[in-house]
Structure 1
């Protein structure tokens, strides 16, 4: 059951980038789409948890969760939705996989935490992969908006990395609360912020969701991507550990590239394909020390448990 749910989660997260592309390609306002998605998903999940007695309404008043929502949902997905107007869904997925490396860089540069040689090597390999992905577009004279969009995705991942580090302290302070409820609240806050951004920057037509592609994208991302995908993630965390489910980062980019090529005819040059493999290898190397600690620390019953530091590299549990 664990392996089946893990495979299903990877498939879901791998297809969300395609769904975002379909929505923004239907000319629906990107910030509006993202805001509706996360506000609806967060509200429904929170109410479901509250009705089951696993969430307190007092969580809605926590400023820390609003700040988490700003970094994890607002910054990350404002960048991703906007950028996918100009960047293919597959490339966006690969660039999004740089999040864990961003976390390591922030910890080393800002918080002066020591980084292992293996992690540093992983960051270097991952950066080389990003360069390889960009090379064909440089040779072909890609549109400036493609370059801007790619840069915006990376900036969004930097915001996510900052939020992930902050969220670790938030979850520790609210250890008695359900992590699903905490995630629901931060998603709802992020959704509200995205809608506020939309109100100031976008013209939202009356029939913005009348287009079947836009409506279908929103429904899929809200129900399947945000609600089912998140629930599977936390189910796997409860049954295994925080590290194992987060390895979706290494599996989903190839899925995103494949479905983008299949359904949207997105072209991937061979050197970009090499770059994809390099980014994933770098991400795996960068997380090597955490994985080693996970395998070395036995629990009283003989199973393996993650170290307290394993949560550092927990990826955006809500995927894309």
Structure 2
């Protein structure tokens, strides 16, 4: 029995959640930091989100434990959701959430530099090399703005540069965790019946991050200084938003989109998130969004596009556009009497090819989402 195709409205709503909600989490972290210290914020967020997601998975009937998968989830969760997120939260004490979102978008640089099995492919591609150049240029622009700012005190300037450096280290941690997760599964013969669903793995990752944040908050004294009565109602709201919308809804929408849409299309959230973050900073905070920051954002987004160019040029959407252009030229070249036959044959071939490609892509994306 063939699965029902998701409605266009469902897909649009899921994209809006991934685009807007994930982009807004940078802003809401900055808001929550008015009342919460960095590690207490991460602790509460993930200790609530992890069990909630695990409970949802239990209700869905997913298998919750597999020793091998849980070990991997703990390691990946430590790097992705603790190291990277700790760097993001800590950095937002000193720099605007807009700058944080731009530097986070530049993570693609480290994927190119640290993905050793793909070095030959990456460093022989002109678009990828150009992307690397633009990526570093965008990051340097943001650092240069802080270094040469005349209106900022030296101590503040030093704090800002340190925060940006810490954030870059966090993005490297995210990259290492992602690459380890990707390659650790290769060569292993995994029993699909025993393998955990990707949402269960993420719940374990959130729990790992929650425990790590809690341990640090206990040892560095943040919890001993934390007074829940002093937390503003708006900041409780920001925390609730991060738990429900940022960690649960946005992630679920992202996983669902990977199952029903091409992965290259879903990855476009990386271009929208920093724009959303920068707009929220401009309209709802006291931080100034400078021309240099906007230029840095544009340069970084161009770099991300170039570094992913080889993926995009072979995507189903681009192939369909090329096909239509080719068919249009063919129709103009052929005699009028033969045009209907050309269209008929071409449409038949396209439908058959599309069916085969859809089946192949669905199987591939399903496999990727389970890894």
Q: Where on the TM-score scale, by shorter chain, does this alignment land: which range?
A: 0.7 to 0.9
Q: CA RMSD in A?
A: 2.8
Deviates more, 1:287-296 or 1:180-189: 287-296
Q: 1:5 aligns to what?
A: 14
Unmatched 5+ residue regions in structure 1? 315-320
Instruction: Tell me if the contact between 1:23 and 1:218 (Cα under 8 Å) persists in the aligned partners.
Output: yes
Q: Which moved more, 1:163-172 or 1:273-282?
A: 163-172
* Counterpart among 114, 117, 122 of residue 121 in structure 2: 114
* Change in 2 beyond 3 A, CA 1:6/1:59: farther
Query: Residues of 1 paired with 2:196 and 2:232: CA distance?
Result: 39
Partner of 2:109 in structure 1? 101
Q: Deviations over 1:13-43 (max 9, x none)?
A: 11100100011133x1111111221221121
**Counterpart residue number, 1:134:** 143
Counterpart contact for 1:134–1:272, Cα < 8 Å: no
Q: Indicate conservation of the 8 Å contact 1:37/1:191, yes or no.
A: yes
What is the rounded CA distance, in whole Å, between the counterparts of 1:236 and 1:113 in structure 2? 31
For 1:54 and 1:113, how far apart are their aligned partners in 2?
A: 39
Aligned residues: 311
Which secondary structure does the structure 2 equivalent of 1:25 belong to? coil
Give the counterpart of 1:153 among 146, 162, 167: 167
1:280 to 290, 296, 301: 301
Post-superposition Cα deviations, 1:30-59, rounded to whole Å, max 9, x if no partner, equal 111112212211211112111221232336
TM norm structure 1 = 0.88
Tell me if the contact between 1:100 and 1:283 (Cα under 8 Å) persists in the aligned partners. yes
**How far did residue 256 of structure 1 move?**
0.4
**TM-score, reference length from structure 2:** 0.76
CA shift in 2, pair 1:111/1:294, >3 Å: closer
- Shift of residue 265 of structure 1? 2.5
- 2:194 corresponds to 1:179: no
The answer on 1:144 being equivalent to 2:158 is yes
SS in 2 for 1:305: helix
C-alpha distance 243-230 of structure 1, shift in aligned 2 (>3 A): same
Aligned-pair CA distance for 1:112: 4.7
Residues 20 and 217 of structure 1 are in contact (CA less than 8 Å); yes or no, is this contact kept in structure 2? yes
Structure with larger Rg: 2
Tell me by how many angstroms 1:167 deviates: 1.7
Is contact 1:293–1:307 with CA below 8 Å preserved after alignment? no
Gaps (5+ residues) in structure 2?
A: 1-8, 321-352
Cα distance, 1:218 vs structure 2 = 1.2
Instruction: Identify the residue that residue 208 of structure 2 maps to in structure 1.
Output: 189
Structure 1 residues 87 and 107: alpha-carbon distance in aligned structure 2, compared to 1, 3 A threshold:
same
Does residue 38 of structure 2 align to residue 30 of structure 1?
Answer: yes
